[in-house]
Amino acid sequence: MAYVTEQKPADYCNYVGGEWTKSSSGETLPSYNPATGEWVGTAQNSSVSDVEQAIDRAYDVFQKSDWGYNPKRRYEALLGFAQKIEENLERLATVLTREQGKTIKESRQELAGCVDTLKYFAGAARTVFGRSVQLEPGNFGVIAKEPIGVVGIISPWNWPALLMIRELAPALAAGNAVIVKPASLTPVISVELFKLIAEVPQFTKGIVSIITGPGRSIGAAMGVSKKIDMISFTGDTSTGKTIMELATSNIKKLALELGGKSPNVLFADANLDKAIPLIGRSIFISAGQICMAGSRLLVHEAVKDEVLARLKQYAENLCVGNGLLESTDMGPVINQDQLELVTEYCEIGKREGKMITGGHRLSGGEFDRGTFFAPTIIDELSPSCRVVREEIFGPVLAVQSFANEEEALAMANDTDFGLSAGVWTNDLNRAMRMSKGIKAGTVWINTYNKNFPEAEFGGYKQSGLGRTRGVDGLMEYCETKHIHFEVE
């Protein structure tokens, strides 16, 4: 398949109060393809006054509409949105790949995940349940679940469609008004999705808005606004801490899905034929730019040499290039800044460990137009090395070895993060012990990166607060109210 490199960039507006509007600043935000450098589109570089007007509008609509108490309408709206994405999936996948750089195969997967998530929470909108309690003779309690109010969602650039929809769907299903602030590196795909929302008549006009622009100003304005009742943020841990500080303005509720440094723990009895490609995929998918990347490999010393040889072959056989080509296995990192950051970590790895493969920018031919980095594996790193301890957000696998189960568990937990982990063993008892012992929100056994909208996801420690997906993900966007009846 030939890929398009010369398309006229489109202009994108904010969507506020059910209307397409331009920023009062008159400034715009360009978006570029990291594989080719081409100009993909231009979004609004919004001002604080723009987001304040959007907040006022969302607050007003929430107070006056029946959206929060009309679950059938919410069901129909979310289902209609899902159907619109399905109808436009291939076009949207091309937009996503051109803007973010990931492979077209990953883009299709991401958008299919959006559809699945919306369908799940469409059904969940009609099952926002509470409970009743007989408290004592003549006293009866109803524990009701109600929408929180206005929710601000700040979404990331690495999986910009799914990680926006993952929070938008439950927030709307629970009956809230929502304002989305997408990442400034990927505004185009986010606004393209909102164009489809605008085509679904069941959405109450103004109940959901999108504002593009810099996080330092408009994201901060959302954080301190007293009319926003909750912030959902997906991104790095340092920014999450800033969001927590801003939220003290009115003690907002927070949902934070933050960084990770997730281990794949590979025991000697594991099925290597299955494990090797999935471990490789877990770190090289999206060029390693994914919070749950299996960026640490903890491998039993008895099979380390074989595992490293096979992973080296896997990495070197990956086809790195423009994501629009069907043959591409891994695209570029998002931009020059990220390329330089990954390079810096690999220089540390070269000094403190042993480079098995990669560790450099790819150059020559088409590579010179984009920000491509070789799939990288580094061995013999100390537990204190920054490559082992810090989230790189690039295609870099840090390898450590262990001698026994106790050592493996200690190494897996020797991190500030706790988002996810993988355990590879054919011993069921060991799998259970490890899954119980690892301090992470998700532990996969003999697989990795399997996510479903009905199964909760989130982190321990500095990987975040709260849960997304599943019943808990819906309840994150609800308030709990006790209504007490005393019967005479």
Model confidence pLDDT, tens digit, residues 355-370? 999 999 999 999 999 9
* pLDDT band per the 50, 70, 90 thresholds, residue 186: very high
Closest CA to 338 of 290, 397, 402, 268: 290
* pLDDT band per the 50, 70, 90 thresholds, residue 5: very low
Q: What is the chain's mean pLDDT, rounded?
A: 96
Q: What is the pLDDT of residue 6?
A: 54
* pLDDT band per the 50, 70, 90 thresholds, residue 2: very low
Residue type, 15: Y
- Give percent above pLDDT 70 in the chain: 99
The tens digit of pLDDT for each residue in 193-245 reads: 999 999 999 999 999 999 999 999 999 999 999 999 999 999 999 999 999 99
Q: What is the pLDDT of residue 8?
A: 75
pLDDT of 58 > 50? The answer is yes
Closest CA to 21 of 196, 176, 198: 198
* pLDDT band per the 50, 70, 90 thresholds, residue 4: very low
- Give percent above pLDDT 90 in the chain: 97
Q: Give span(s): CATH 3.40.605.10, the chain.
A: 10-258+463-483
Closest CA to 379 of 347, 344, 354: 354
Name which CATH class applies to 263-452: alpha beta
d(CA 226, CA 252): 8
Backbone angles phi, psi at 73, to 5 degrees: -65, -40
Mean of the pLDDT values across residues 450-455? 97
**Three-class secondary structure assignment of 340-405:** HHHHHHHHHHHHHCEEEECCCECCCHHHHHCCCECCEEEECCCCCCHHHHCCCCCCEEEEEEECCH
8 A C-beta contact, residue 324 and residue 334: no
Q: What is the pLDDT of residue 7?
A: 64
d(CA 291, CA 346): 19
8 A C-beta contact, residue 238 and residue 447: no
Q: Give span(s): CATH 3.40.309.10, the chain.
A: 263-452
Per-residue buried b or exposed e for 422-442, using 16+ beta carbons within 10 Å of the residue's own CB = bbbbeeeebbebbeebbbbbb
**Tokens representing residue 470 in the block:** 């599943």
Mean of the pLDDT values across residues 373-377? 98
pLDDT of 331 > 90? The answer is yes
CB atoms within 10 A of CB 319: 10
CATH topology of domain 10-258+463-483: Aldehyde Dehydrogenase; Chain A, domain 1 (3.40.605)
pLDDT of 269 > 50? The answer is yes
Alpha carbon of 155 to those of 37, 163, 173, 256: distances in Å? 23, 6, 18, 11
Angle at the Cα of 411 (from 344 to 240), degrees rounded to 5? Answer: 55
Strand (E) positions, 139-245? 139-147, 150-154, 177-181, 208-210, 230-234
* pLDDT band per the 50, 70, 90 thresholds, residue 488: confident
β-pairing verdict for 28-32 and 39-44: antiparallel
8 A C-beta contact, residue 394 and residue 377: no
pLDDT of 119 > 90? The answer is yes
Sheet strands side by side (includes 296-300): 354-357, 376-379, 396-402, 296-300, 263-266, 420-424, 442-445
Active site residues: 257
Token pair 């109940």 is found at 207
d(CA 332, CA 322): 8
Residue type, 457: F
